Amino acid sequence: MNSASSPSSLPLHISTVHTSRATINRFQSLLHLTSIFALLYYRLSEITTAATPSSLFSLFPILAAELILSTIWLCYQAFLWRPVFRTTFPDRLPREEAALPPIDVFVCTTDPEKEPPWEVMNTVVSAMALDYPPGKLSVYVSDDGGSIVTLSSLKAARRFARCWVPFCQRFGIECRCPRAYFSGRPEKEGDGGGKSLECFEVEKMKVEAKYEEFKCSVAKAVENGAATIATFNPRDHSPTIEVIQDDSGDDEYETSRVKCPLLVYVAREKRPSSPHHFKAGALNVLLRVSGIMTNSPYVLVLDCDMYCNDPTSAKQAMCFHLDPEISHKLAFVQFPQKFHSLSENDIYDGQMRTLFVVRWPGMDGVQGPILSGSGFYIKREALYGNVSKKDIPQLKQCFGDSNDFISFVKQSNRHNLFHGAEVPIDLLEEAHFLAQCSYERETSWGKEIGFRYESVVEDYFTGFMLHCKGWTSVYCTPSTPAFLGSSPTNLNDTLVQNSRWNSGLFEVVLSKFSPLIYGMSQKMSLLQTLCYGYRLHGSWSLP
């Protein structure tokens, strides 16, 4: 059992190796390995004693099939070697707001027709209501479609958040996704924060009225934007960046002592002649824009349909990131992906239990789990790489020609906050410059810094490269799901999703970054390399 201590000498987290499970797994692996060696010995004996060329020719394909399947099996055993389970103690973090680091939240959306704005806005509001100092939270929404619907909906979300965030903090609300809260989940209402039931009910009715206004505003934005969507080209538009500020003048919440997190809308420039690199490209634009606006040392990445179910996830992640024993080499804290849209039977395994219940705890006992697309708190420094040894010309060659952005890269502890203040015009102009599609030309974005472009599975490849550089990761599995999202519920969508993932993974295996070759030549351990090497499992269809 390992623990990390806070300044008060109490552990912020505890990691426990599941010894009995590991022992059983290793014994079973030894038995299977013995059988495989016996089988291969038998097959080689057959080949050496083959009487005719035809019989020899028929034995080689069988041997090749057995070698492929044996390699896949061997890689899988690395997941079972040392399963680890972790417990966090967020209440032991420093109580002073100044002692907690700022966090930037990235939410990515693309098409308001495929990703309903109402669902996206609930994710945004739930992120703004995290149990974390609002002055230390900033939420950036990447709208790759550049839709007026998303922008208008965000303004409605900001207005509602002005009453929702204080309400959640005042009464200790546990479920901070408005749609989930008002759909009837009394077990997640919290304890009222010590306030009287009558006071709570009165405030709840007021907030519920605002919630209905919020819902109507989003529906109206969708209706009004329908004509614009038909004429607007989402693949050819200029950058749009706007700091969403509420000017409604609602005096009832104007005097609230609880601030509201910064909310920024980002629609990067897209042109048919320039590759946009999908989600990885959008995340890298958010890294640059947030880098000159807030420059928070930690970033939470969320899919637009995955809302914050447990408001303490930020503090749970900080239990690891603020641990002096592991923080210097810790790149990210990954939470499991859980889904609310699945039936009880879940015949297509939409919960991906094999990944989040078996494999990731096993990798956590080695060098850490794979970056999994959503629900992770990542260190900005890990994405930037080592910048301390580079001079200004070298930094510009890597990060681009923005002097303002370079200054923030050099001073990672320098932060900007514009809560309730006017954002300087020159800062917005610089942000638009950073969001241009031509900014990354002849730079290291997507190659050596930021989220990687070499594969459509940008999360897997980015995490792989971080582990190759010696960074570690942590898998945090609290009893209450930190995030809840939507998953395919029919066969067609499941096949499309899995085909995309597996083709992307196999693409990496066949590239120069093949885990079993490239990983072994870098700073990854043998077991971690085997875990990444299991991406070969797509080749099981060959035998």
- Sign of the C-alpha dihedral, residues 209, 211, 213, 219? negative
Does the annotation mark 459 as catalytic? yes
Please provide the DSSP assignment of 247-304 as one string.
Answer: -S--HHHHT-SS---EEEEEE--B-TTS---HHHHHHHHHHHHHHHHT--SEEEEEET
Answer yes or no: are the C-beta atoms of 211 and 178 closer than 8 Å: yes
Q: Kindly list the distances between the CA atom of residue 349 and the CA atoms of 353, 356, 376, in Å, as whole numbers in the listed order.
A: 7, 11, 22
Catalytic residue among 104, 143, 144, 305: 144
- C-alpha 100/C-alpha 147 separation (Å) is 35
Map residue 445 onto helix, strand or coil.
Answer: strand
Please give the radius of gyration of the chain, using alpha carbons only, rounded to the nearest integer: 25
Is residue 143 among the annotated active site residues?
no
Supply the DSSP string of 74-118, one letter for each residue.
HHHHHHHSS-EEEEE-GGGS-SSGGGSPPEEEEEEE--TTTS-HH
Q: 485 pairs with which residues across the strands?
A: 339
**Residues of the binding site for UDP-alpha-D-glucose:** 114-115, 144
DSSP string, 131-156: SS-GGGEEEEEEETT--HHHHHHHHH
Cα separation, 75 vs 537, in Å, equals 9
Please, what's the b/e burial string for 170-189 (b: 16 or more CB within 10 A of its CB; e: otherwise)?
Answer: bbbbbbbbbbbbeeeeeeee
Tell me if 313 sits within 8 A of 174, measured CB to CB.
no
Q: Which residues are catalytic?
A: 144, 459
